[in-house]
């Protein structure tokens, strides 16, 4: 069972860890990376204890931009101008 449910907006981005973080009661930080979020992961773990939290976020906000490039561009059609 998750220790808590936390909105992604309530977490802090750490440039050093390259992860979103949230304070853990043990004194360390729960951590989850953007790559994990892109893969649909919703569990942020604490590296110092066994606790974890469920991160509430919109998966579309972290969707891989490369997946959008798989769509074929619209074909252009010549138009005659009189």
| pTM for this prediction | 0.74
Asked whether residue 70 is domain-assigned, the answer is no
Asked whether residue 68 is domain-assigned, the answer is no
Predicted pLDDT at 62: 83
**pLDDT band of 76, cuts 50, 70, 90:** low
Per the structure, how many domains does the chain have? 1
Q: Which domain holds residue 15?
A: 4-61
pLDDT at 65 over 60: no
Measured CA to CA, the distance from residue 76 to residue 82 in angstroms comes to 19
The per-residue pLDDT for range 46-62, each reduced to its tens digit, is: 999 999 999 999 988 88
Region for 45 from its dihedrals, namely left if φ exceeds 0, alpha if ψ lies in -120 to 50, beta otherwise:
beta
Asked whether residue 30 is domain-assigned, the answer is yes
The per-residue pLDDT for range 5-42, each reduced to its tens digit, is: 999 999 999 999 999 999 999 999 999 999 999 999 99
Torsion of CA 37, 39, 44, 47, to 10 degrees: -120
Asked whether residue 10 is domain-assigned, the answer is yes
């Amino acid at each position: 069972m998750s220790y808590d449910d936390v909105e992604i907006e309530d977490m802090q981005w750490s440039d050093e860890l390259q992860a979103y973080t949230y304070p853990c009661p043990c004194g360390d930080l729960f951590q989850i990376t953007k790559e994990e979020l892109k893969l649909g992961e919703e569990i942020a773990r604490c590296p110092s204890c066994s606790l974890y939290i469920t991160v509430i976020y919109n998966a579309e906000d972290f969707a891989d931009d490369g997946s959008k490039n798989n769509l074929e561009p619209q074909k252009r059609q010549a138009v005659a101008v009189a």
